[in-house]
Structure 1
Amino acid sequence: MTETKPVRSRGGGRLFPEYTIPPEELARRKAEKDARGKKARSYFEQICPQLIDKHYNWFITIEPNSGDYFIDRDIEVAEDKAHQKYPSGWLVTFRLNETGVCDRI
C-alpha cells in the first residue's frame, strides 16, 4: 500500500496582523497622493507650453509644494537633481509632450 504525504493546511490570515493599516489611514494617504498629483499637474500645465518646443520628450520632475522643477533628457538625472534639493520631498515626474505621460503600459 502506498503511503500518502500529510497535507499541511495553510494558515489563515496575515503573518503580522498588528501591522495592518486601517482603511481610514489608507484613504487619507490616497487623498494626499491625489492632491499632490493634481497640484503637480497644474504646475505642469502652466510650464509645459514654454518648454515643449526646446525640450520635447524630456523629463520634468516637479516638487508640488514649491513649484520648483528640474528637466533633463534622462529621467534618473532629472530625479537626482530634484532629490539633491529636496531629499525628503514628494516629487512628481512628467514627460514634456502633449500628454505628460512618461511611459505606456
Structure 2
Amino acid sequence: MTETEQIRTVRRGRLSTESTKSQEEIDQWYAERAAFRQRCKVIFDRVQPELIKTHYNWYMAVEPNSGDYFIDQDELAVVQIAHQKHPNAKIHVFHINQTGVCGTI
C-alpha cells in the first residue's frame, strides 16, 4: 500500500501589529501619522472657508509636500485623481464641511 501524504495549507492573512511591532514602534507610527495629518490640515484650513460655500460635503485629498489638493464628490475618485498626479505620495482625505471629518463615531 501507498501512503498518501497530507499537505497542510498555511493560513494567509496579516499578523497582528502587537505580535510584529514593539510598543515604541507603534507609538512612533501614530506620532508620524498625526504629524502628517497636521501638515495636511494646514492646507485644508487655508482653503476650507472658500470651498465650503461651493463644494459642501465633497471630498478633498491633500498632498502636503507640494501643497496640491484635489476635490471631487466621490471619495474614491478624489484619491485616484491625487494618485495620478502624485503616484508614490501619501495623501490625506478630508470632507469639506465644518469639521473636515469624513464619518461619525
TM-score between the two structures when normalised by the length of structure 2: 0.76
| Partner residue in 2 for 1:101 | 101
C-alpha deviation, 1:23, in angstroms: 2.1
Q: Whole-Å Cα distance in 1 between the matches of residues 101 and 31 of structure 2?
A: 21
- Show CA shifts across 1:17-41 (max 9, x none): xx62122222221111010011111
**Would you say how many aligned residue pairs link Structure 1 and Structure 2?**
89
Gapped regions of structure 2 (runs ≥ 5): 1-14
What SS class does the counterpart of residue 61 from structure 2 fall into?
A: strand
Q: Whole-Å Cα distance in 2 between the matches of residues 38 and 63 of structure 1?
A: 12
Q: Whole-Å Cα distance in 2 between the matches of residues 79 and 100 of structure 1?
A: 16
| Partner residue in 1 for 2:60 | 60
- Show CA shifts across 1:37-78 (max 9, x none): 111111111010121111111100001222210000111111
**2:40 is the alignment partner of 1:40:** yes
Q: Whole-Å Cα distance in 2 between the matches of residues 68 and 100 of structure 1?
A: 17
Runs of 4+ in 1 over 3 A off after TM superposition: none
Q: CA RMSD in A?
A: 1.9
TM-score between the two structures when normalised by the length of structure 1: 0.76
Whichever residue aligns with residue 62 of structure 2, its letter is I
Rg larger in structure = 1
Q: Whole-Å Cα distance in 2 between the matches of residues 99 and 61 of structure 1?
A: 15
| Partner residue in 1 for 2:79 | 79
Q: Note the 1:22-41 alignment, pairs <5 A.
A: 22-41=22-41
What SS class does the counterpart of residue 48 from structure 1 fall into?
A: helix
What SS class does the counterpart of residue 60 from structure 1 fall into?
A: strand
Gapped regions of structure 1 (runs ≥ 5): 1-14
What SS class does the counterpart of residue 71 from structure 1 fall into?
A: strand
